[in-house]
Each structure stands twice: as structure tokens, then as C-alpha cells.
Amino acid sequence: MIIKAVIVDDEALGIKSLKWDLERLEYPIEVVQTFTSPVEALAYLNTEKIDLLFLDIQMPKLTGFELLSKVSDINFSVIFVTSYDEFAIKAFRYSALDYLLKPVVLDELKTALQKYSEQLETKVTKDVSSQLQIHAFASEGSLPDKLAFSTKETIEFLRPADMMYCEAVSNYSNIYMPSGKLLVCKTLRELEQMMKEYNFIRVHRSFLINPAFITRYVKTLGGSIIMENGFEIPISRTKKDEVSRWLFNK
């Protein structure tokens, strides 16, 4: 499998050096795009699917951290590449795969890529196992009453019937219930795959909803949905037709 990577660094020399190092390692990785402007990078990351992001931190207009906070659905791994070591702790709070100091040491880059491969293998195994279990139950005419969700400190068992909606939060997601909210270690895309059998629908790049909790459909201003807790969720322009078909022509 070819890994699709993007490099964001306000210094063109830094991009050139990192691309050269990646080529020397002969790793199955393709640098599909590079940016010296974090603003331009943000627009790209919000529309294109990639696997791995090499990201500088200190950049004009947007720091690396600010850029990540504005990405709507982070479904890729991040390796920070920077000249400053004081941001390491904050970087790992953003679930960074690794943190490399410039000039990049080739062995450290190789180790970071090995971490990516190990993370990918573990993630695929867990996700496939979880989805197969749910689909197996569905094919037998029944679904589990509770599902397990990992948080940073615990594993919580939730009833899908109690979950009102899910919201993307960087590499994580908030699950909202009548009793409160829970931050879980899954992207919204992963939750979408997991909750399909429970009839959850993706109405926006940042929101996945349980239709059982819809109280009102607002037709004006592009369309939105009001949930039982009063929260209004916008409907994405690209999702509007799909949502309308689901709500009114089931």
C-alpha cells in the first residue's frame, strides 16, 4: 500500500530536505502535495483524503497546532517536524505519531515511519474486527445492546439507543447523550462506519446523528436539524439530498 503524505513547512528548503530523506529510505510513501502556506494547506486537508501529514509548528498566519484545530475531520496521522523542542508535550496532546527535530536524523525518520506502519496495522485489525462483529449480529437479526468505546483513561460501554449525536474533535469525537457527553478515541469517520447498522446518519462533516432524537427539520438557510436537547446541527450542502431522502422517503 502506498502511503499518501503531505508536507507543510513555511521553509521551502525544509520541504526539499524532508522529501530527499523520504526518497533515501525507499519507503512506500508518496508525497502528494507540499505547502509553504498553512492557510493553503488547511483548504487542501479539508477536502482531500491523505494518510500522513508532516507538519511544521512555527509558521506565519497559522501555527501547526492552529491548523490542526481547524481541520474538520482529522483522519490521518501527524508527525511534527520542527526546529523547536519546547512544543513536544503539546504535540503529543494532539495525538502526534512522532516529533522530529530539524535537521531530521534519518534513523529517527525511519523509526517514525515504522511507528506509522505499526499503528496502521493495529488500527485496521481492531476496526475490521469491530465492524465484522456488528455486521455478524446484524445478519442474524440482532445487534449488541451496548458497544465499547475507549477514552483516554477508560473503556465505556454505551447503548447506541442512548447516543443522540457525535461531533468530530480532531482525532477524537464527542458522543452526546441525555446524561452528558463523552470524548472517545475514534474519529467521526470511524464512528460512522461503526454506527451504520444502528441507522446513524452523517449530516455534516463534523456531525453524525441518531435520527431517533430529531425533533425538528429546519428548511431555511441551507437546512438544519434540531435535536431533543435543543442543539441545532447544520446539514452540509453535499449531504442535503441524502438526508432529505432518508428523512422523508424511507
Determine whether domain 3-123 maps to CATH 2.60.40.650.
Answer: no
| Gyration radius (Cα) of the chain, Å | 20
Distance CA 65, CA 63 (A): 5
**Tens-level pLDDT at each residue, the chain (250 residues):** 788 999 999 999 999 999 999 998 888 899 999 999 999 999 999 888 898 999 999 999 999 888 988 887 777 888 999 887 777 656 655 567 788 989 999 999 999 998 888 776 555 444 444 444 444 444 445 567 778 888 877 878 888 999 999 998 877 899 999 999 999 888 888 888 888 878 899 999 899 999 999 999 888 777 899 999 999 999 988 888 888 877 776 5
pLDDT value at residue 177: 95
For the chain, the first-to-last Cα distance in angstroms comes to: 38
Spell out the domain ranges in the chain.
Answer: 3-123, 144-248
Query: What does DSSP assign to residue 49?
Result: -
DSSP 166-225: EEEETTEEEEEETTEEEEESS-HHHHHHHHGGGT-EEEETTEEE-GGGEEEEE-STT-EE
CA distance readout (Å), 151 to 35, 98, 171, 179, 181: 33, 21, 12, 17, 12
224-48-103 Cα angle (round to 5)? 130
Contact 232, 225 (CB under 8 A): yes
Q: What is the dihedral of CA 119, 174, 203, 216, to 10 degrees?
A: 170
- Range 144-248: architecture per CATH: Beta Barrel (2.40)
Full-model pTM: 0.54
